[in-house]
Amino acid sequence: MALSVLIVDDEELIRYGLREWLQEEGYSVLEAQDGSTALEQANQDPDIVLLDYKLPDMDGLTVLKELASRPGNPVIIMMTGFATIELAVEAMRNGAYHFLTKPWDHDDLAARLHSASELLNLRIASEEQLASETVQYAMDSIIGVSPAMKRVKSQCKKVAVTDATVLYTGATGTGKEVFARAMHYASPRAGHEFIAVNCANIPDTLLESELFGYEQGAFTDAKKRKMGRIERADKGTLFLDEIGDMPLHLQAKILRVLENRTIERLGGEKTIDIDVRVIAATHQNLKALIAEGKFREDLYYRLNVVPIHIPTVSERGDDILLLAKHFIQLHNRLLGRNVSQISPQAALLMKAYDWPGNVREIDNVIERILILEDVETIDVKHLPEEIRSGTRTGAPKTANGGFRPIPLEALEREHIIATLKFTNQHRKNAAELLGISRKTLKRKLDLWGKMSN
């Protein structure tokens, strides 16, 4: 589709010459002889505006400021026969893309229009990426319909539209960064950077320079200036993951960032203003760390403006199967598999397992099964031993290896009754889990029923 250009000039001959030339170059053209008409024509959303500085009803800078303030503003090239450096600087400061002096060279104008077209393509690509990421990281795209997850999503949506500092707590693997990113894309800051910093993964010696950046010569390897992650997050969101692992001396610096909204690069003397929303997360008990002298109490209260706890997978009920099906679809695409379902018996065992690794563990288990098994249905035999037995791999053993001196018949009865309870008294499912026929299960239950009479 042809880009559109709005020509704003009070001289008809100039408009005519530009119109003829632009149409030959493949542009569609709009025209305006004064500022008020230009603002009306701008409602048709031209891609580029060639704007004369001197107009009969208002100066071009007034039109420039109005156009630049509108959403999706066009690329504006100012034109004037009375150019000064001061005027050019003011035009650029108020949103002009370029400044041309009349009479202009057609090759120069063509080059400027080509550059403006490339800028528009980049802007379109950026807007499309933002739209895609907004959908990808939308709060409602986070998998979970359990009451616990509905409550968390509701809290996050309310907080997202504000600039409040948020502290996510929850076990490792519950999805704290997923929620932080979703909050960013649901906020007015969505068009700017989301910068994540894992305080546990970056060595203490490097964390400060990663966060605050440095000036050339600040230390031996500082060959040139580097912008820190806090500065990169300006007007966007800074996510400090595992904040409980941050060294005390850096906690003091982060506290000053939250209080003053300023930073200084390492080796620098200039104070830099920053506008950043801070979201922090931790799997640790920060109050316990405060009691141990490992975390600053004043920083805790600065971060804990809106505390949001992310539930574990074991607290989310049927979300376990929703997550498993999501990861099946994901790894089907990545691995070229065609797994379509989970058997009822396997599903029951997956729901019963406590998933200590949370969402991350579900992802790992599904990926492992799809790599190793070329099947259409995930069955009990495909599940890891810890899920089939209902125990954690590497879980601490009880005394005597967990042995209980119970008569074999009593132990069998206890296990069958527990399995029936687990399957909500569904005898077919219970029999399949126990590895016996329904007839055998019925016979045993009838026998025990007679014995109790």
Long-range CB contacts for residues 111-118, cutoff 8 Å, separation at least 24: 112/77, 113/5, 113/25, 113/27, 113/48, 113/77, 116/47, 116/48, 116/75, 116/77, 117/3, 117/47, 117/48
Could you tell me if 277 and 353 lie in one domain? Answer: no
pLDDT score of 288: 96
The answer to whether position 26 is within a domain reads yes
CATH number, domain of 256, equals 3.40.50.300
What is the pLDDT, as a whole number, of residue 69? 83
In this predicted structure, what is the pLDDT of residue 134?
Answer: 62
| Distance of alpha carbon 252 from alpha carbon 278, whole angstroms | 15
Report the half-sphere exposure of 217 (CA within 13 A, side-chain side). Answer: 2
Residue type at 194 in one-letter notation:
F
**The CATH number of the domain where 435 resides is what?**
1.10.10.60
Query: Strands 277-282 and 75-80, how do they pair?
Result: unpaired
**What does the pLDDT average to over 385-412?**
59
Question: Does residue 32 sit within a domain?
Answer: yes
Whether residue 150 lies inside any domain: the answer is: yes
* Selected residue with higher pLDDT from 388 and 260: 260
Of 311, 346, 369, the residue that ends a domain is 311
Q: How far is CA 155 from the centre of its chain?
A: 17
- Is 45 inside any structural domain? yes
DSSP letter at 266 equals B
pLDDT in tens, 354-386: 999 999 999 999 999 999 999 999 999 999 988
Query: Domain range spanning residue 42?
Result: 4-131
Chosen domain end from 364, 389, 414: 389
Beta strand residue intervals within 170-235, DSSP E: 194-198, 213-214, 226-227
Domain assignment present for 76: yes
Q: How many domains does the chain have?
A: 4
Chosen domain end from 112, 131, 150: 131
Residue 48's nearest CA partner among 132, 25, 86 is: 25
Q: Answer yes or no: is pLDDT of 170 > 70.
A: yes
Considering the domain boundaries, does residue 397 fall inside one? no
165 and 293 inside one domain: yes
Distance between CA atoms of 6 and 24, rounded to whole angstroms?
15
pLDDT in tens, 107-134: 888 888 888 888 877 777 666 666 666 6
In this structure, the answer to whether residues 167 and 219 fall within a common structural domain is: yes
Write out pLDDT tens, residues 35-48: 899 999 988 889 89
Residues 68 and 109 in one domain: yes
The pair of three-digit structure tokens given for residue 186, joined into one six-digit string: 């649901």
Classify strands 48-52 and 4-8 as parallel, antiparallel or unpaired. parallel
Buried b (16+ CB within 10 A) or exposed e, 200-234: eebeeeebbbbbbbbbeebeeebeeebebbbbebb
Answer yes or no: do 265 and 223 share one domain.
yes
Q: Residue 390: its pLDDT value, please?
A: 67
pLDDT digits (tens, 9 = 90+) for 57-92: 888 888 888 888 887 788 998 888 776 777 778 888
Q: Can you give the pLDDT at residue 305? A: 96
Amino acid at 139: M
Average pLDDT for residues 413-425, to the nearest whole number?
A: 80
Is the pLDDT assigned to residue 393 strictly greater than 80? no
Co-location of 240 and 379 in the same domain:
no
How far apart (Å, rounded) are the C-alpha atoms in residues 196 and 182? 13
With H, G, I as helix, E, B as strand and everything else as coil, classify residue 246: coil
Encoded tokens for 134 = 């907004």
Positive or negative torsion for Cα 420, 421, 425, 430: negative
- Quick one: 408 and 375 in the same domain? no
Amino acid 385 reads E
Does 147 sit behind a cis peptide bond, omega within 30 degrees of 0 on the bond before it?
no
Residues 274 and 192 in one domain: yes
Name residues whose C-beta falls within 8 Å of residue 95's C-beta, 6 or more positions apart in sequence: 64, 65, 67, 68, 73, 76
Q: Determine, yes or no, domain membership for 394.
A: no
Report the C-alpha gap between 211 and 274 in whole angstroms: 13
Q: What is the CATH number of the domain that holds 353?
A: 1.10.8.60
Q: What is the pLDDT of residues 191-245, one digit of tens each?
A: 899 999 999 999 888 899 999 998 888 787 778 888 899 999 999 999 999 999 9
Question: Could you tell me if residue 371 is inside a domain?
Answer: yes
Mark whether 112 and 228 lie in a shared domain. Answer: no
pTM of the model: 0.67
d(CA 425, CA 353): 19
Confidence (pLDDT) at 394: 43
Are both 295 and 188 inside the same structural domain?
yes
Residues 208 and 100 both lie in one domain: no
CA dist., res. 209 & res. 143, Å (int): 36
State the angle between helix axes of 408-422 and 438-452 in degrees (0 to 180), rounded to the nearest 10.
Answer: 110
Same domain flag for 415 and 376: no
| Residue 28: pLDDT over 50 | yes
pLDDT tops 90 at residue 432: no
